[in-house]
Structure formats: C-alpha cells, structure tokens
Structure 1
Amino acid sequence: MSTELVDKLATELEIPEGVTVTYKKPMITVQGPLGKTWKSFKKIPVTIEVTDGKVLFKAQGTRDKNRAIMNTSRSLIRNLCEGVVEGYTIKMKIVFSHFPITVKVDGKTVLIENFQGERAPRKTKVWGDTKVVPKGDDVIITGHVLTDVSQTAAEIENGSRVKNKDHRVFLDGVYKFEKKKGIEN
C-alpha cells in the first residue's frame, strides 16, 4: 500500500482542553464543563484509540465507503466534544394567522396548544437533557448534545405540520430560524 493511501485511511482529532474522552468498547464517553454524554460505536466499523490528548481513527478497509465512515465517526466525536464545552442553541418561531398557538413544556413533553383551533394539544418528545423554553413567539431549545437538540427541534416542527389542508395557504406552525453553537438563555 502506498503511504498516501495509508494517510487517507487514518485520521486524528485533538481533544479540547477541559474535556475527558474515554473509550471502552463499544462506548465512547465525553465529559466536559457542561455535562457528560456517550455514543455507541457498536455498529460503526472503525477502529478508535484514545491516547494523550488525541483520538485516533483507522478505517477498516481501503474503499471510499470505509474512509467516509471513518470521517463521519470523527465528526460525531468532534460534535460531542464541542457540545460539552460550548453547547448548542436552536431558535424556533411560532407562526399563526387566525388561531393563536401556544407552546408549553410539561416535563419531557412539549404541548402545542390551539393549533388551527384543535381542541386537543399536539404532543412532542424532548430528547435527552435538552431544555425547551417558550419565550413569547419564540421557542429556544438548548443542550450539550447536538443530535438531541436537533431531534427535539425536528419533532416540534413536525408536530405542528398542517394536515388535510393546502400547506401553501395555511402557513401556521413552529419553524426553525436560527441554529448556533453556544447556549443562549
């Protein structure tokens, strides 16, 4: 094998200061100032080693597919490290034309009330340690795990989807308008 091919099939990730990464097959645990999270690599075919401030990745094959899986694994762990240091925020806007929509949080459930005059509230799930805070016409979703924050926002947006009407005319719903690193209050 050429050295150029070997370089493409292995990569590394610097662990940020103040973050602890441990790997006990198949779980990787990331701990930082904002909290602790983990990810299972049981079904992801990549070799991972954690040594002195770096995470080393090796593809388990020589095809482009194997290299893509290796780089995806690197991105997943990078997002976990960034999340426990900075966190993530997604802002959503409540949009309505006739019936005023209200969004409330009840434990691990988000209630979308009075959506198009419906009597029963629509319910969506809050994933992980994500915090959902309704503020006026905005809903602010924050957390230290990007996948949990994004999934919670997606469920709120899908939970306020217009059914049995022309969605080009009836634009009511809760829509994402900003996504950024850092936790905003």
Structure 2
Amino acid sequence: MRILLTEEKVNIPEGCIVTEKNKILTVSGPKGTETLDISHMLLSVDIEEDALYVRLWSARRKETPIVRTCASLINNLVIGCTKGFLYKVKAIYKHFPITMLIEDAGKTVIIKNFLGSKCDRVIKMRGSAIAKLGQEKDYLHIEGPNMQTVSQSAANICQKCVPKNKDLRVFLDGTFVVSKGTVDQ
C-alpha cells in the first residue's frame, strides 16, 4: 500500500537564508555557509517565507523515513549556521600529562606525551571544524557550522588516544568528549 503524502516542516529563523538549486540546498547564516546535496533522494523541497517543506509523494512504507532524515539534516544545518555546534574534549591522565597543541589556525591538533610515548599524534579537523584550546586546563573546544564534521573530528581525537595492548580497566588515560551543544549555550 502506498502513502499518498509524507511531509515534514523545517522552520527557518530570522538571519538564516536557505536557497535551493537542482536539489542542492545552501544554508547561510551568521556562523557560516553550508551546502547539502539531496539529488540522490526522491524528494521535493519547497521553500516558503519562514519554513521549508520536505515532501514525498506516493511512497511505500520503507521509503517514508527518508523524509524525516532529510528534514533533520536540514534542521542541523540551520542550527549550525545560526548558532554553531560545540564539542568539548577533555584529556584525562593519571601520571604522564597529556599536552595538546593547535596548529594551522585550528585545523590540526597535536597530542604529545600520551602514556609517556615519544611519538606525537596528529589529527586533522574535517571540513569546517576548528579546534581551540579551552579556558580550563586540559580542555579542547571543537566548533563549526556542520554537526557531522564537528562530531567526527571530536571522535577522531578520542580514537587516537586509546591505550593499546593494556588493560582498559587500569589504564584510563585518554581524551573523551565531555559535552555537546551549541556555541551560544
């Protein structure tokens, strides 16, 4: 059985501009500009004054969740371009102090002295994500307008600092995501 119409509404706040051309959405706001390509999705996107409608006509039951997924991706871009996303990463250590350095204007993070090792761990930020040292000790702030690139950059930092060939119940050193949210919070 086919569902005649599946529809989701995404509110567009003031100060945010959404344009669509050939199923490529461009969202621009005070924090930056991001694009989303939905040409592979069989959807129709209609932009009105203060809202955006994602519609799917005559779909089967398995095809309807794509509408909510697309609406959530667009909503995350709108939030990111107006407020910006912020992930806080903390370096936790017991004996050897972990030092974090920022290079290339926030595009590269270097982690030194993890478990006393001499080799440095170099992590490049993805997309438009930028890393900054926090005001508190051992904190790193990763921010940007795209939630996917910010969260993936934070995950890459956490994955680089995992103790290998050791008991993880004893060796608790590493870098961990402490909080997630928007920059304005």
Same fold (TM over 0.5): yes
Residue number in structure 1 paired with 2:52: 55
Residue 72 (structure 2) pairs with residue 64 (structure 1):
no
1:183/1:140 CA distance change after superposition, 3 Å: farther
Q: How many residues align?
A: 181
Offset of 1:121 from its aligned partner? 0.6
Q: Which runs of 5+ in 1 are unaligned?
A: none
Residue number in structure 2 paired with 1:128: 127
Contact 2:4–2:58 (Cα < 8 Å) also in 1 = no
Residue 28 (structure 2) pairs with residue 27 (structure 1):
no
C-alpha RMSD of matched pairs (Å): 1.9
1:40 corresponds to which of 37, 42, 49: 37
- Structure 1 segment 49-128 matched on structure 2, within 5 A: 49-59=46-56, 61-107=58-104, 108-128=107-127
State the distance in 2 between where 1:110 and 1:38 align.
Answer: 25
> Tell me, what secondary structure is at the counterpart of 1:164?
coil
Bigger CA drift: 41-50 or 166-175?
A: 41-50
Among all aligned residue pairs of Structure 1 and Structure 2, give the percentage whose two residues are the same amino acid: 34
State the distance in 2 between where 1:133 and 1:24 align.
Answer: 35
State the distance in 2 between where 1:49 and 1:98 align.
Answer: 57
TM-score by length of 2: 0.89
> Tell me, what secondary structure is at the counterpart of 1:65?
coil
Q: What is the letter of the counterpart of residue 47 of structure 2? A: V
Offset of 1:151 from its aligned partner? 0.9
